[in-house]
Amino acid sequence: MNKTGRYTRQPSNDETSQAAMDRDGVGYSLRGLVAQMRSSGNRWVQPGPAGDTDPNVTTVRLAESYGFCWGVERAVRMAYEARLAYPGRKIWITNEIIHNPTVNNRLIDMGVGFIDDVAGKGKDFTVVGEGDVVVLPAFGASVEEMLLLTDKQVQIVDTTCPWVAKVWNAVDNQTRKDHTSIIHGKWAHEETVATTSFASKYVVVKDLAEAQYVCDFILNGGDAEAFRAKFVNALSEGFDPEADLVRIGLANQTTMLKGETQAIGKLLERTMMERYGPADLKDHYMVVDTICDATQERQDAVYDMMADLEGTDESKKVDLVLVVGGFNSSNTSHLQEIPEVRNVPSFWIDTADRIDVAGGKIEHRMFKGDMVTTENWLPAGPLRIGVTSGASTPDRAIEDALDAVFRTRDPSFTGIKLAEEDLAGGEEYHELDASEV
C-alpha cells in the first residue's frame, strides 16, 4: 500500500483538528473537571446545596490510570485530520473508529460514513467508490479488506494502533516459520479478526482455561473432532490439532489482561519444553513481547482502589464505583468486573444519558452483559465515588457523567467552571518506529 501513493499512517498534529477535538470533547480534557482533578491529585470535593458543611458533600476519586490511551487518541486525531485534509470527498470507516458511541456519532455528524455488515454476511464495500477516502480504525482491518481497498484505488488513512500492528508482525513471522499462532483474545473481536488474517494456522483462546485445554492436547493427544468442535469459530480452516500444534507461537489481542497473556505464555512454554525438551524448545515455541500496557494499567488502578477498601486510610476509600465506556469495549468490561465480583456497588454506563437525574435512577450494564436499572443509586449523606473509564473513552464522557451525578445530588448545581488556562492532559507517547514494529 505504501507504494501506491494513496496511503498515510501518521498523524499531522494539525492545530485546527486539535481545536475541533477540544470543541467536541473527543480528546483529553484541558480545562474541564478531569483536567482539574489531574492537577489536584486525581480528587475533587463537590459541596452539597448548603456548601462545604452540607452532609451531601460528594468526594470523587479518579483512578490513577483511566480513559483514552495514546493509540485511541491518535486514531481519533487522524480521523479528524482526514476530514480536514480531504474536503468534498466521501470518507468511510471500515468499522467504529474506536469503541465509543459519542466519538463515532460525532464523526457521522461530520459526514463520515461507516461500512456496515449487511445481515451478518460481511461488510458491504460496494458503497466505496474510486477516489473516496477510507479510514482504517484503531484496531485495524483484515488483509483481505486492505487488498480490496487497494484495488479500489481509494485514499487510505490507516489509524491502526502501532501496538496492534506489532502483534500482526509477530503473527506474520510465526506464519513464515511454519508456527501455529495461539492468539489470546476473543475470536469475534475486530482486532482479533484482523490479526487472524495474518496467520495461516491459528487457534484463538479466550482465557487460561482454554489455553490449558490446548496444552493438554499437546501433551496427551485426544479427539481431534472434539477439539475442532470446542474451537469451532476460533480455528483456521482445515485445522488439524495433531499436526498443527507441533510448532506454536503466542500472540494476543491488545485489550486482554496483560497478566493473563503472560500466564498463558508461561504455560505454553512449559508445555512445549515438557513435550520436546529444553534443547529443542526454540524449534517448537516462539514468542515476541506484543503486550500493550494500557489495558493492564487501567485495571491495576481499579485493583488499587479495591485494595484501599480494606485499609485504614479513610481518605482513599470509596462507597461506589462509576465505570464509563462503550458497552462493546472489551477493556471496559474488565474494569466493571473488578468491583462487581467483589460486591462493591458499581455502575457501568456508556454515556451520561443513562443517568436519570430527575428520577434518581441509572441504567447500567453488568460485566457479563445484563442491562439493569437501579433506583436511588446515589444515597444521601457524604458519598465517596471512585471513577474510571475504558481506553476508548474521552475525558468529556467522565465530565458529563459527573455533571449528572452532581445535579442528582444537588438540583441547584450549575456546572464546573473551566480552568482559566489549559492544564496538562493525556498520556505521553511516541510513534513506534520500524525497528519497534
Other Cβ atoms less than 10 A from the Cβ of 427: the count is 15
Is residue 191 part of the annotated active site? The answer reads: yes
Where is pLDDT greater, at 139 or 290?
139
Over residues 77-94, the mean pLDDT reads 95
Sketch the domain layout of the chain as residue ranges.
22-69+294-409, 71-160, 163-291
Catalytic residue among 73, 145, 191, 210: 191
pLDDT tens digits, residue range 277-309? 999 999 999 988 887 888 889 999 999 999 999
Rounded Cα distance, 43 and 32, in Å: 13
CATH architecture of 71-160: 3-Layer(aba) Sandwich (3.40)
> What average pLDDT does the structure give for the chain?
92
Q: What angle do CA 283, 286, 288 make, to 5 degrees?
A: 155
Confirm if 198 and 168 have CB atoms less than 8 A apart. Answer: yes
Domain 22-69+294-409 fold: Cobalt-precorrin-4 Transmethylase; domain 1 (3.40.1010)
pLDDT tens digits, residue range 356-398? 999 999 999 999 999 999 999 999 999 999 999 999 999 999 9
Over residues 127-156, the mean pLDDT reads 94
Over residues 89-114, the mean pLDDT reads 93
Answer CATH for 163-291 from 3.40.50.20, 3.40.1010.20, 2.40.128.20, 3.90.180.10: 3.40.1010.20
Confirm if 354 and 362 have CB atoms less than 8 A apart. Answer: yes
Other Cβ atoms less than 10 A from the Cβ of 87: the count is 6
Range from 52-61, 77-86, 256-265, 419-428 carrying the lowest mean pLDDT: 419-428
Q: Is the pLDDT of residue 429 over 60?
A: no
Rounded Cα distance, 123 and 120, in Å: 8
Helices (H) and strands (E) in the chain, counts: 15, 17
Q: Do domains 22-69+294-409 and 71-160 have the same CATH topology?
A: no
pLDDT at residue 432, as a whole number: 46
Q: What is the DSSP string of 295-357?
A: HHHHHHHHHHHHHGGGSS-GGG--SEEEEES-TT-HHHHHHHHHHHTTT--EEEESSGGGEET
- Residue 238's pLDDT band, with cuts at 50, 70 and 90, is very high
pLDDT at residue 367, as a whole number: 93
